[in-house]
Amino acid sequence: MATRRALFSCTAGLALLASASAWAQDTPLNVLWMGWPEEQVEPLMDAFREAQPDITLNVERIPFAQIFQTIEVRLNARGGDPDIFIVDSPLTASYVARGYLLDLTPHLDASRFTKAALAAATVDDKIYSAPFGSSSALLFYNKTLLEEAGIEPPSTDPAERWTWAQLVEAAEKIAKPDQGIWGFVFEQAERPYQLLPLPMSLGAEMISPDGLTATGYVDSPKSVEAFQFYQDLYQTNQVSPPGVFDNNLTFELFGTGKVGFFVGNPYDLVNLPTKYPDLEWGLAPHPYFADGTPVTPTGAWHIGVNPNTDQMDAALTFIDFMMQDDTQRLWLKIRPYPPVLEAVWEAEADTTFADPGWAIVRHELTETARSRPATPGWREYEDIMRLAIRDIQTGADVQATLTAAAERTDRELAKYR
Amino acid sequence: MGNGIRERGWIPLLFLAPALIGLIVFRLAPIGIAIVGGFLQQTLRGETVFAGLANYLDLATDPVFWNSVRVTLLFNVLINPFQVVVALGLALLVFRPGPGVTFFRAAYFLPMCVSLAIVSVLWNILLDTQLGPVNGLLSALGLERQPFFRSESQALLTMIGIASWKGCGYWMMFLLAGLYAIPDDFHEAARIDGANAWQRFRYVTLPLMRRPILFVLIADTAINFLFFAPVYIITNGGPAGATDLLMFQAYQSAFAYLNHGRSLAISTILLVVIAIFAMVEFRLFRSPSDA
């Protein structure tokens, strides 16, 4: 692919003219990146281009729904393309098992990273993915809808966080399904990322300690109880819009004032005012089950180097640049994931993180954050659970669906045993 | 300057080459790779090893696969005759010249010009339970909202509906060409013999349409066994496996479950099933003169 692309650019007459000066010094570096909006990607890449004019970055932005398949296809070709790719942190072990990731231990200073980020990047005591962002969850609410329904907004204090029962009670007062007004929606309504904290809040473990068995975990009584609650949101309480799975749609529903409560990510702190400046919204900590403990999701994007890259030096230069304090502060500005560098938390303590929303995030990251199940088969686990969650939402029997999903997962995990 | 047939033998090959190369590279080679690949497995590190029948034995004990076989067969047993009958009906409707016939021909064919991905997105919105205009209309008429793609019992039928909305106009064109190929003399002779419209259709049109219908049926069957995009875009095989067609399982096996051997085994099984269906259809519709 790279050679064919190179061939095309060589034969194009214009390219000849343009590359006359760059010919001698040009090092192409192919980067497979998440499909975030251009303005949340290009400033970073431009900063790199400015710092390293000899390296020509080719950045491909792939939509979230296709990114994991694309990485699989491209890396499994076992060639040198892409040189760099974005890594969803729970997939690190999966990629290591497949030989997709270069060991970055000698190139990173482990002491700079937060503990959780480092743990997500480490397999067998080696760091395989460079931590680039963490994540958390916040309860956003629409002030106007709450006021209209006469609901006292939840407190920002994590000690007074709402239970799920409180949330459902409030959401029921807001929801008018026949008018397209809903009480509550998960931003990632089909993704285990945002939904596994439900069973985890009840104390369920969602995979065996060795990460290779799902039966007895995914379909445990506590897991069934949690996903029954999830189903009830759509079927019984009817506070959530069934069949809306796309992150962009759930975000739009909240942004356009059609949803009272919304479990979202810290990056929505920037996305909401940018896209929906007129929306009046507030923040509270993530809800929990009264007979359980608060649990929030975490983990996010890391950066990996293809061990087969032909541009090793340039690839490591890229990693080095992205791990710098200044780069990660810029990244925080354009798309605020909770930082993975202690230095960024400190540098922004009195500015960005003085915001009460970030105080909640900081609290969650240190007190309630739980990583997704550690398994080399996360790709398979995630997709099987995603389909099960869709079925559960549509009204399928929760126990039967989870048992079938667990059996399916065990079949797929067999290859890692 | 020899002009013997032997010396010129390569010239026809030269003209055929572009098509033949295309056929080999894009059709025959992938089929060969799929058949061979069904007997191989990839290790985690990407090495390819011979696996014998392991992929097929694994499928044989997999309830998800068997559900997928059931759904795929049901889908095809319903959709193929349905589309052929509707396409034939449309072709008969727009066959005779009359006011507005050109408009209707174009209108029936038009859905074919929209990409299947866009068709999927459009119908997914149109048929949405809460926000879709179709349900808005139903509810305005005092009827109950329908879940369509969100219901285990309606999802497959809805899939057949949108596939036919897009496909029937296309197959209509082939059958229309077949209708035009029937000389008017036959109808005229039948009319003189006192045959009514139904008898002319049953004893003149239909027998003479055997070949176009056979072609459409076989081509349609092959396409519908490979039906994929709307499942991927709208339902992901759900709810509860109701639209879990084999093509989607082949896709899932390769790109979600990272099991290429099984994906290729499913593709090979599909190929065999399509071949069997085509043969049966060929036998059923064979003209006596072809026997």
Indicate if A57 and A125 belong to the same structural domain: yes
User: Do the strands A122-123 and A126-127 form a parallel or antiparallel pair, or are they unpaired?
Assistant: antiparallel
Contacts of B152 in chain A (CB under 8 A): 394, 396
- How far B45 CA sits from the closest chain A CA (Å)? 5
Kindly report, residue by residue over A60-111, the tens digit of the pLDDT: 999 988 899 999 889 988 999 999 999 999 999 999 999 999 999 999 999 9
Q: Is B259 helix (H, G, I), strand (E, B) or coil?
A: coil
Secondary element (H or E) of residue A301? strand A301-305
Indicate if A175 and A251 belong to the same structural domain: yes
B239/A242 CB distance under 8 A: no
Residue A15: predicted pLDDT: 43
Using CA coordinates, name the residue in chain A closest to B252.
Answer: A383
Kindly report, residue by residue over B84-142, the tens digit of the pLDDT: 999 999 999 998 888 888 899 899 999 999 999 999 999 999 998 877 899 989 988 98
A352 pLDDT band, cuts 50/70/90, is confident
Indicate if A265 and A385 belong to the same structural domain: yes
**CB burial class (10 A; 0-12, 13-18, 19+) of residue B77?**
exposed
Specify if A83 maps to a domain: yes
B11 pLDDT band, cuts 50/70/90, is confident
Q: Which stretches of chain A sit within 8 Å of chain B by CB?
A: 68-69, 72-73, 76, 78, 97-99, 177-178, 180, 241-243, 379-380, 383-384, 386-387, 390-391, 394-396, 401, 404, 408, 411-412, 415-416
Domain ranges of chain B: 38-290
- How far B254 CA sits from the closest chain A CA (Å)? 9
Distance of alpha carbon B259 from alpha carbon B155, whole angstroms: 27
What average pLDDT does this structure show over A205-232? Answer: 96
Asked if residues A401 and A392 have their Cβ atoms less than 8 Å apart, the reply is: yes
The share of chain B scoring above pLDDT 70, in percent, equals: 96
Kindly report, residue by residue over A355-397, the tens digit of the pLDDT: 888 999 999 988 999 889 888 899 999 999 999 999 999 889 9
Distance of alpha carbon A83 from alpha carbon A80, whole angstroms: 6
B240/A99 CB distance under 8 A: no
In DSSP terms, which residues pair with A55 in a beta bridge?
A27
Specify if A361 maps to a domain: no
Kindly report, residue by residue over B169-187, the tens digit of the pLDDT: 999 999 999 999 999 898 8
- How far A246 CA sits from the closest chain B CA (Å)? 11
A180/B64 CB distance under 8 A: no
Mutate to test the interface with B, among A70, A246, A391 (most CBs of B within 10 A): A391
Question: Who among A72, A177, A411 is closest to B258 (CB)?
Answer: A72
> What CATH number has the domain spanning B38-290?
1.10.3720.10
Indicate if A122 and A149 belong to the same structural domain: no
Indicate if A61 and A156 belong to the same structural domain: no
Indicate if A145 and A202 belong to the same structural domain: yes
Question: Who among B131, B150, B257 is closest to A394 (CB)?
Answer: B150
Contacts of B45 in chain A (CB under 8 A): 98-99
Question: Who among B131, B237, B239 is closest to A394 (CB)?
Answer: B239
Contacts of B130 in chain A (CB under 8 A): 177, 180, 241-243
- How far A137 CA sits from the closest chain B CA (Å)? 26
Asked if residues B101 and B93 have their Cβ atoms less than 8 Å apart, the reply is: no
Indicate if A181 and A242 belong to the same structural domain: yes
pLDDT at A3 over 50: no
Residue A381's CB is within 10 A of a number of other CB atoms, namely 27
A13 pLDDT band, cuts 50/70/90, is very low
Could you tell me the two tokens for B8?
């010129």
- How far the first Cα of chain B sits from its last, in Å, is 46
For the residues of A17-74, what is the DSSP string, one character each?
HHHTTTTTT-EEEEEEEE---GGGTHHHHHHHHHH-TTEEEEEEEE-HHHHHHHHHHH
Specify if A325 maps to a domain: yes
Indicate if A405 and A269 belong to the same structural domain: yes
- How far B255 CA sits from the closest chain A CA (Å)? 5
Residue A5: predicted pLDDT: 46
B240/A241 CB distance under 8 A: no
Indicate if A274 and A330 belong to the same structural domain: no
Using CA coordinates, name the residue in chain B closest to A74.
Answer: B255
- How far B46 CA sits from the closest chain A CA (Å)? 7
Using CA coordinates, name the residue in chain B closest to A253.
Answer: B131
Specify if A1 maps to a domain: no
Question: Who among B45, B63, B255 is closest to A72 (CB)?
Answer: B255
Sheet with A182-186: strands ordered across: A182-186, A259-264, A138-142, A281-285
Indicate if A38 and A78 belong to the same structural domain: yes
Kindly report, residue by residue over A116-169, the tens digit of the pLDDT: 889 889 999 999 999 999 999 999 999 999 999 999 999 999 999 999 999 999
What average pLDDT does this structure show over A401-406? Answer: 96
What average pLDDT does this structure show over B247-253? Answer: 95
Question: Who among B128, B240, B257 is closest to A380 (CB)?
Answer: B257
Handedness of CA B172, B78, B254, B28 (dihedral sign): negative
B149/A243 CB distance under 8 A: yes
Question: Who among A180, A411, A415 is closest to B131 (CB)?
Answer: A180
Asked if residues A368 and A201 have their Cβ atoms less than 8 Å apart, the reply is: no
Residue that is last in its domain, among A284, A312, A336: A336
What average pLDDT does this structure show over A318-345? Answer: 93
Indicate if A173 and A281 belong to the same structural domain: yes
Specify if A4 maps to a domain: no
**Domain around A247:** 138-295+373-416
Specify if A360 maps to a domain: no
Find the helix packing angle between A64-76 and B246-255, rounded to 10°: 70
The domain spanning residue A218 has which CATH number?
3.40.190.10
Contacts of A401 in chain B (CB under 8 A): 240
Specify if A164 maps to a domain: yes
**CB burial class (10 A; 0-12, 13-18, 19+) of residue B21?**
exposed
Distance of alpha carbon B280 from alpha carbon B291, whole angstroms: 14
Indicate if A227 and A319 belong to the same structural domain: no
- How far A7 CA sits from the closest chain B CA (Å)? 21
Contacts of A72 in chain B (CB under 8 A): 255, 258
Q: Is A176 helix (H, G, I), strand (E, B) or coil?
A: strand
Q: Is residue B237 left, alpha or beta, with left meaning phi > 0 and alpha meaning psi from -120 to 50? A: left
- How big is the A-B interface in CB pairs under 8 Å? 71
Specify if A122 maps to a domain: yes
Count of structural domains within chain A: 2
A263 closest CA partner among A239, A235, A286: A286
Calculate the average pLDDT of chain B: 90
Handedness of CA A218, A220, A224, A225 (dihedral sign): negative
Residue A23: predicted pLDDT: 45
